[in-house]
Structure 1
Amino acid sequence: MRMFLISDNVDTYTGMRLAGVEGVVIHSKEHLKEQLEKAVSDKTIGIILITEKFSREFPEIIDDVKLHRRLPLIIEIPDRHGTGRKPDFITSYINEAIGLKL
């Protein structure tokens, strides 16, 4: 199994290529759908890395794949601008998930 990157910027793509991860840089919703379908249908891809920007802008596309397929696993990664998450993201996630305040 291998990883595949779907990025919205060349810097993230270049960094991942240096680490040996293949991928694409895209800038439109249509191209995202096309490349995601192509990656999902490739049985050699086990993990799809996707920048958080796409998850924020097009959650319906990403969530559809996450909910209806076991593989490949979709991992959202921050890009060169940093993460869009709050500093206490993990604590908030635990509070929501189990109702325990940390």
Structure 2
Amino acid sequence: MKLVIVGNEEECLGFSLAGVEGVIVEDDSMFVEQMQQLFSDHEIGVIAIADRYFSIFSERFSPVIEKRAVPAVVFIPSMDGTHHKSSLKEYLASILGIRL
């Protein structure tokens, strides 16, 4: 299973130094296209996404990811500041599907 980072060039570069494959996206439509491709790749086990794409992901891909265990999707803080507005408690509750 592979780990893939989805973000801008700088975010992907940092992870590539650790051997993680990066998928560079420059806008929202490119993000949607790349995510569709990543979900069809059965070798990917974890997708780490810059949190600037959290709302787009929630709107477009939440129904898809709720039905699958793999790949696991995690959001990481963006280089240009955190875009994810909910608290850590709310975030973990949404990921785990339980109320904390």
TM-score range, shorter chain: 0.7 to 0.9
Q: What SS does the corresponding residue of 1:97 show, helix, strand or coil?
A: coil
**Distance in 1 (alpha carbons) for counterparts of 2:32 and 2:59:** 11
Larger radius of gyration: 1
Kindly indicate whether residue 28 of structure 2 is the aligned counterpart of residue 29 of structure 1. yes
Cα distance, 1:33–1:85 mapped onto 2, change above 3 Å: closer
Contact 1:3–1:49, Cα closer than 8 Å, also in 2: yes
User: When the two structures are superposed, what TM-score results if normalisation uses the length of structure 2?
Assistant: 0.76
**Cα RMSD (Å):** 2.7
User: When the two structures are superposed, what TM-score results if normalisation uses the length of structure 1?
Assistant: 0.75
**Distance in 2 (alpha carbons) for counterparts of 1:32 and 1:5:** 12
2:95 counterpart residue number: none
2:99 counterpart residue number: 97
Alpha-carbon distance, 1:64 to partner: 2.9
Letter in 1 for 2:3: M
Number of equivalences: 96
